[in-house]
Amino acid sequence: MKGDKLYLKIFSLFCLFIINFDLKAKGIVEIIRENPNFSTFYSYINNTELEATLQQKFPWNWTMFVPNNKAFEALPKKVYDKILSDTSLRKMLILDHILIGQKTSGNLNSKMTEEITVTNKAIQLYKRESLYVKDMVVVNENTSADNGVVHEINCVMFVQPSKEDDRLTRLQKDKFPITSCCMQTDNEINSWLSAVDSRF
């Protein structure tokens, strides 16, 4: 009887180890592919150079802010017509959501920290009750993968220098040099497109 109990304990621990091992073994792309809330985002990276890159082994991890399906549903039609329909622009928009290095809510506090996206845009992260990307709340944070971390956000990010953001006062521009918010208006879409054009 004691032997049976010991066997059950060992078997339970073994199963727990296997489950944890499987979870840790999943990469960023696998985490995204298996989450039904990310199916639209995954459709944009599926079978592309970006998917292949994120599956390679690098000396660093990734932090990805992944817009959920609702985020894409809320986008203006112009984003689909002018950005997401173009392979190069779509890639640039997705890269705006990726950082080199692993940033979890445990790395942050109420003091703002500035990070750089893969597209070399600065974004500001901080944590109050939730993890924030400037004025966007991360709705599901810290999904770990073996090569980084995924944070679910409820809109597609628009990152720009605050001096170019007409919505802000001079004081706000001085206090927050970078604006990262939801891409919603024609001005934001046109500003993003202009910034991309100026780089090429």
We report the CATH number of the domain holding residue 184 as 2.30.180.10
Q: How many domains are there within the chain? A: 1
pLDDT tens string 16-40:
444 444 445 699 999 999 999 999 9
- Specify the 3-state DSSP secondary structure of 130: coil
Alpha carbon distance 40, 159 (integer Å): 21
7 torsion bin: left (phi>0), alpha (psi -120 to 50), beta (else) = alpha
Determine the structural domain holding residue 20 and report its residue range: 2-198
What is the model's pTM? Answer: 0.75
Low-confidence residues of the chain, pLDDT below 70? 1-25, 109-110, 126, 128-137, 161, 165, 167, 175-180, 198-200
The pair of structure tokens assigned to 144 is 């770990």
The DSSP call for residue 82 is I
